[in-house]
Structure 1
Amino acid sequence: MMRRILAFFLLGYVLLPFISCDKNGLELSQEEERRQLDELRQEIEALSLSHICENAEDWRVTAIGSKACGGPTGHIAYSTKLDTNSFLKKVNEYTHKELAYNKKWPVYSDCSVPSPPDQILCKDGKPELVWSSASLP
């Protein structure tokens, strides 16, 4: 009986390095994380342009992204005809992932906080964000 217990512990000791997880092997490089963020941003931008802008009243704006210094990187327009809850969740996911990226990697940015636009116009079927000269980003 004692031999079996000893054999069990010895086997566990020998196999432990092979079955334990190497966290470093699972982490993404800075470039891979940036690429994933860029892909998510492109997906959000494609969703925001998935409806034709015919009436500016059907459009809203939300902040997006996270600067290393704090605050959003910008603003994005979206149609109220979208599944707005799903869209805003995706924007929030992107913003939180970029915040985590900025904390993890040595990232720098300016510390200006972009103002929300004063209005949205429809131009050539696309939303155009407009700032007055007093509130340019």
Structure 2
Amino acid sequence: MKWFFKILVLSILLQSFQCTDTNDSSENITSAQLETKKLEIQNYINSFSCSESGGCNYIAFGSKPCGGPRTYLVFSNSVNLNHLQDLVTKYNEIDNLHNIQTNAISDCSVPLPPNEIRCVNGICTIIN
């Protein structure tokens, strides 16, 4: 009987240490979810206008299957940069996860950051 009790306790202990996957990667990311997040970011950026004195900046956006950003977003320096970085970081993470889940491929080209950004009529614009 002691032997049975020891095995029972040991099996319960072993099960309590069993690994569990708490990563949300098992949840499939849809293109619609990506588009919704992208629109949220664009709407946030578009809610700020720029001025010549305030200036503009850019941030890498998206995750290509081969690595690197898909594109760059331009924005007014009047945005809350920490909030924008949080939004973009989360988007980039789910875009990367979507790439993995869908076995996405790309041309592996690397988009270059904008050379010049200007405030044109209150909108940050890439000048090439």
TM-score (norm 1): 0.68
- The answer to whether the Cα contact below 8 Å between 1:56 and 1:121 also exists between their aligned partners in 2 is no
More helix by share: 1
In structure 1, how many angstroms separate the alpha carbons of the residues matched to 2:34 and 2:126? 23
Larger deviation, residues 116-125 vs 64-73: 116-125
Q: Which amino acid aligns with 1:60?
A: N
Q: Which amino acid aligns with 1:87?
A: L
Q: Which runs of 5+ in 1 are unaligned?
A: 1-25, 132-137
Alignment of 1:41-56 (within 5 A): 41-55=38-52
Deviations 1:21-52 (A, max 9, x none): xxxxx844x6xx11011110111111111111
In structure 1, how many angstroms separate the alpha carbons of the residues matched to 2:113 and 2:27? 35
Q: Which runs of 5+ in 2 are unaligned?
A: 1-25
Alignment of 1:1-137 (within 5 A): 27-28=27-28, 33-55=30-52, 57-131=54-128
In structure 1, how many angstroms separate the alpha carbons of the residues matched to 2:99 and 2:53? 34
Q: Which amino acid aligns with 1:99?
A: N
TM-score (norm 2): 0.72
1:107–1:56 Cα change, 3 Å: farther
Deviations 1:102-132 (A, max 9, x none): 011121221111000011112232111123x
